[in-house]
Structure 1
Amino acid sequence: MKKIVLFLLLLISSFSQAQPKAIIGETDYNFWINLPKQEILENKPPVIIFLHGRSLSGTDINRVKRYGILRAIEKGRNIPAIIVAPQLPFGPWNPDKINQVLEYVQKNYEIDSTRIYVTGMSLGSYGTMKFVSKYHDKIAAAVSICGGGEEADACNLSEVPIKVIHGDKDFIVRLSESQKIVNAIRKCNKNAPLEFQIVKGGTHGSVENFYREDAIYEWLFKHSKANMSELNL
Structure 2
Amino acid sequence: MKYLPIYLMCIGLTFIFALNACNKSSDQANIEEEVSEESPDNKNKDKVTDYSDIKNLPQDTGGEQLAYLKGSTTASYGYYAYTPSAYHQGTEQYPLIISLHGAGKRGDGTNIDDLKKVLWLGPSNLIKKGEWSPSYPAIVVAPLTSTNWEPKTLHQFIEHLTNTYRVNEQRIYLTGNSMGGFGTWNYIQEYGESANVAAIIPICGKGNPDLAHQFTNIPVWAFHGVDDNTVDVYGSINMVKAIKELEVDMTYTPKLTLYPGVGHDCWTMTYDGSGMGQGNPNFDAFDMSIYDWLFRYKKE
Q: TM-score under structure 2 normalisation?
A: 0.65
Offset, 1:24: 2.4
Aligned positions of 1:135-154 closer than 5 A: 135=191, 136-137=193-194, 138-154=196-212
Retained in 1: the 8 A contact 2:223–2:266?
Answer: no
CA distance in 1, matches of 2:65, 2:105: 20
Q: Equivalent residue for 2:107?
A: 58
CA distance in 2, matches of 1:83, 1:189: 36
Greater Cα radius of gyration, structure 1 or 2: 2
CA distance in 2, matches of 1:23, 1:224: 30
CA distance in 2, matches of 1:20, 1:69: 14
Question: Judging changes above 3 Å, is the alpha-carbon distance between structure 1 residues 203 and 18 closer, same or farther for their aligned structure 2 residues?
Answer: farther
Q: Deviations over 1:131-166 (max 9, x none)?
A: 123333321100011111122321112221000111
| 1:78 lines up with 2:133 in the alignment | yes
Retained in 2: the 8 A contact 1:140–1:161?
Answer: yes
The letter of the residue matching 2:64 is: A
- The partner residue of 2:70 within 10, 24, 27 is 24
The letter of the residue matching 1:22 is: Y
CA distance in 2, matches of 1:203, 1:189: 33
The letter of the residue matching 2:222 is: V
- The partner residue of 2:92 within 13, 34, 43 is 43
| 1:197 lines up with 2:245 in the alignment | no
Retained in 2: the 8 A contact 1:23–1:33?
Answer: no
Retained in 2: the 8 A contact 1:159–1:193?
Answer: no
CA distance in 2, matches of 1:101, 1:153: 23
CA distance in 1, matches of 2:264, 2:293: 22
Bigger mean CA offset, 75-84 vs 157-166: 75-84
Q: Equivalent residue for 2:218?
A: 160
CA distance in 2, matches of 1:83, 1:197: 24
Q: Percent identity?
A: 29
**Secondary structure class of the residue paired with 1:46:** strand
Offset, 1:85: 1.2
Q: TM-score under structure 1 normalisation?
A: 0.83
- The partner residue of 2:296 within 204, 222, 225 is 222
- The partner residue of 1:69 within 111, 123, 139 is 123
CA distance in 2, matches of 1:152, 1:32: 34
**Secondary structure class of the residue paired with 1:106:** helix
Offset, 1:39: 5.3
| 1:89 lines up with 2:146 in the alignment | yes
Q: Equivalent residue for 1:174?
A: 232
Offset, 1:23: 4.4
Offset, 1:206: 3.7
| 1:116 lines up with 2:172 in the alignment | yes
The letter of the residue matching 1:83 is: V
Let me know the Cα RMSD of the aligned residues. 2.1
Q: Deviations over 1:37-74 (max 9, x none)?
A: 21597421111111111001122211111212211211
CA distance in 1, matches of 2:180, 2:84: 23
Retained in 1: the 8 A contact 2:65–2:80?
Answer: no
**Secondary structure class of the residue paired with 2:238:** helix
Q: Which has the higher helix share?
A: 1
CA distance in 2, matches of 1:186, 1:23: 41
Stretches of structure 1 that go unaligned for 5 or more consecutive residues are 1-13, 227-233
The letter of the residue matching 1:56 is: K
**Secondary structure class of the residue paired with 1:124:** helix
